[in-house]
Amino acid sequence: MKLSIYGKGGIGKSTTSCNISIALARRGKKILQIGCDPKHDSTFTLTGFLIPTIIDTLQSKDYHYENIWPEDVIYQGYGGVDCVEAGGPPAGAGCGGYVVGETVKLLKELNAFYEYDIIVFDVLGDVVCGGFAAPLNYSDYCIIITDNGFDALFAANRIVASVREKSRTHPLRLAGLVGNRTKKRDLIDKYVEICTMPVLEVLPLIEDIRVSRVQGKTLFEMAELDKTLRFICDYYLNIADQLLTYPEGVIPKELPDRELFNLLSDFYLNFNDSKNQIKETNLDFIIV
């Protein structure tokens, strides 16, 4: 199974990816996580350091694939999860899709691409171009991380459009949304009411998750020492267990921008109306 985790920048894709990877490994699966963000910190909480990227390694070997060994680019992380960082093209030049393509090509040359039960692609979600959608070419499922706010749901809707487009030519399904860093889910629910898709889990903002990034550890590793953190691991195990049933998922249909603006801004208006305090900033969302 191949999974791509998408979402707005900083929403928690890498955090969620690392913990889902371990949750899947805990269920006995052989996992590879591929960071596809030029930030190349996707696997940081799994390995505890920033591993060399595929692009850096390729460059240092003058793109001679035959001189690269698996141990040059695949690093073992916590819980037996293998880790790769694709790296990025030079800022403002090149294409992220090319980088992902080269990464997959190299892993195939190394006979590593088909060695895993599950490959998790952790993908950046701000750049909406063909390159950004490249991991979807290799994926059975897409998962979108969002919070309960306008920006993340707007980004989610763009990703939904990419999934719909790719699913015309690839056997790709949207497994669903994961809510992150939010206790409230009213906007998420409003969105999926119209744009039908499963909500796999909703994680609140938890200080220990933020701390895990600083410590370079996943929640599973932290929970070894502090059993009170196990309830956080359960969120990720729940997502893993749903994925392991090979859920049907959906081929989603995105909302036109205008409809999405209206859907979410109506909400803002009603909410503020009821409090008799329509704020000017919220009017940004209204298209007449």
Contact 96, 104 (CB under 8 A): no
If binding is defined by CB under 5 A, does position 21 make contact with Mg ion?
Answer: no
| Binding interface with ligand ADP (CB under 6 A) | 7, 9-15, 180-181, 203, 205-206, 209-210, 213
Dig out the tokens for 171 from the structure.
């056997």
Backbone torsion region of residue 48, taken as left when φ is above 0, otherwise alpha when ψ lies between -120 and 50, otherwise beta? left
Q: Which of 2, 4, 12, 14 binds Mg ion (CB under 5 A)?
A: 14
CA 206/CA 111 separation, integer angstroms: 39
**How near is the Cβ of 235 to ligand ADP at its closest, in Å?**
9
**How near is the Cβ of 198 to ligand ADP at its closest, in Å?**
19
Residues 6+ apart with CB under 8 A from 122: 5, 13, 14, 17, 33, 34, 35, 36, 37, 42, 43
**Annotation-wise, does 184 bind a ligand?**
no
**How near is the Cβ of 10 to ligand ADP at its closest, in Å?**
4
Q: Could you tell me how far CA 163 lies from the centroid of its own chain?
A: 13
Nearer to ligand ADP, 10 or 256 (CB): 10
* Stretch binding Mg ion (CB under 5 A), from 10-18, 184-192, 232-240, 245-253: 10-18
Helix (H, G, I), strand (E, B) or coil at 94: coil
What length does the chain have? 288
Residue 216 contact, options Mg ion, ligand ADP, none, Cβ 5-8 Å cut-off depending on partner type:
none
Nearer to ligand ADP, 33 or 167 (CB): 33
Position of minimal CB gap to Mg ion: 14
Helix (H, G, I), strand (E, B) or coil at 128: coil
**Annotation-wise, does 57 bind a ligand?**
no
Helix (H) or strand (E) holding 240: helix 230-243
Residues making up the annotated binding site for Mg(2+) are: 14
Chain positions contacting Mg ion, by CB under 5 A: 13-14, 37
